[in-house]
Structure formats: structure tokens, C-alpha cells
Structure 1
Amino acid sequence: MSPTRVLCRVEDIPDSGALAVRIDSATGGFEIILLRQGDRVFGYHNECPHQGRNLDYVPGKFLIRNGSIICAAHGATFAVASGDCLAGPCRSGLLRVPLQVEDGEVRAP
């Protein structure tokens, strides 16, 4: 089994809300958005495929309504559970980050 890193605890993410987490890497790192629906947690790169801008309207604050996350820049709308583009100026969905939830911790490879 490959090593994983703890990103946060499930309860750190508001239910039906989001949390931004920075992942360090050899190329400088990137930010992911963790979205929670009950016990389920979904992770995506914090980048809208429309123009590559962050999804948040201010760092760490996201527009989330009715199971969708909305890009603050141009209104592209994505399904929280799948990352699929639902509406607005997007031709593809969000880039998923693989996650594991274990003992109340959200982990990434």
C-alpha cells in the first residue's frame, strides 16, 4: 500500500460545504477543494476548466448550492459528487483528486 498524507479531518469540512487545502509538490504545489456531503468527501483541483482560474471568490470561500459548486469568475456550474459540468462556460468537468476517508481522516496519495 502506498503512503498517504492526511489533509484534514472530515468534520473540518462543513457539511454541504468546502475546504481548500494546499498540496506541496516538487513542481511548486497546487490547491485542491474538498467538498463534503454527509459522510462522503470529494476532492478536485481548485481550478475551473473554463479559464484555469480558482473556483473560490476569495481564498477558501466557495459558492455551493443544491449539490453544485459554482465558479465565482464566470458562473460555470459543476456537480459536487462527480465534478461534471452542469451549466455555464465549461466544456469539461473538474479534475478529480483521489481521496481516502479512514478513521475520520481525509487522506490523499
Structure 2
Amino acid sequence: MRICHLEDLPDGESCGFDPRGTGRDTVLIVRQGARLYAWENACPHHGTPMAWRKDAYLNAARDRIVCFAHGAEFEIDTGSCTLGPCLGQSLTPVPLNLHQDGEVYLAQPYPRRQS
């Protein structure tokens, strides 16, 4: 499933997407240069969405993903929690395929969050 084009993702920024068509962003992607990191938009602490507003998933330094409901911080490249109530837990990765033409696709099967 096509998500976007690489040019739609500003370098050093995060964006949310709704590939399931639920009416809310269920996937977040962070771009760092040519690398893309995609995660389920659900904090492992309670499964709540992570952003406080559209596409606002990063801290001020732009070096961690933040759950604004709980203050938890996660490494961008591994999804590991480094601070907060879910220390030792990780975000759920979402595999992507980046095509040579710059198109970004979800790899199949799309993972579902475990209850």
C-alpha cells in the first residue's frame, strides 16, 4: 500500500498517516536523511496515540519520539523507550519499502498492535 513520496517527508521531521482508513493516524514515520523509521502510533504504556497535534511526534531537539500523553521518550531508530513509564518497552515497528522512484509503501503484511 502506497503511503507517500519521500519528498513529502521533510528531513528531520515526523509525519502521521492513516493507512487503515480509521480517521486517525495509526502510523508515524520519521525521516533522517535517506532513512525512514516507521512505528505504530501507539504508546506501549496504554496504546494511546502519541502526538499532541498533527505530525508532532518529536521532542524539541528532534532526536527522540515523544508520547505527549505520558512524557515517554523513544529512540528514533530502535523505538526503545529511554525515559518514562514504559521504560524497557518499545514501539511496534511498521515495515516500509522505499522504491527507487521515491515512493514509500507499507510492506505486507501490515503489523497489528498486540492487545
Deviating beyond 4 angstroms after TM superposition, the runs of 4 or more aligned structure 1 residues are: none
The 1-side partners of 2:12 and 2:85 are apart by 24
Across the aligned residues of Structure 1 and Structure 2, the Cα RMSD in angstroms comes to 1.8
8 Å CA contact 1:44, 1:97 repeated in 2: yes
Aligned to 2:70: 74
Q: CA deviation at 1:70?
A: 1.0
Q: Which moved more, 1:10-19 or 1:38-47?
A: 10-19
Q: Which moved more, 1:40-49 or 1:61-70?
A: 61-70
Q: Deviations over 1:49-100 (max 9, x none)?
A: 1111111002332233342111111110001111111111114100000111
Does the alignment pair 1:96 with 2:93?
yes
Determine which of 7, 14, 18 is the counterpart of 2:10: 14
**When the two structures are superposed, what TM-score results if normalisation uses the length of structure 1?**
0.84
The 1-side partners of 2:64 and 2:56 are apart by 14
The 1-side partners of 2:75 and 2:56 are apart by 17
Matched ranges for 1:34-73 at <5 A: 34-64=29-59, 65-73=61-69
8 Å CA contact 1:20, 1:31 repeated in 2: yes
**When the two structures are superposed, what TM-score results if normalisation uses the length of structure 2?**
0.80
Q: Which runs of 5+ in 1 are unaligned?
A: none
Q: RCO higher in 1 or 2 (8 Å CA, sep ≥ 6)?
A: 1
Q: Which runs of 5+ in 2 are unaligned?
A: 109-115
Identity score, percent? 35
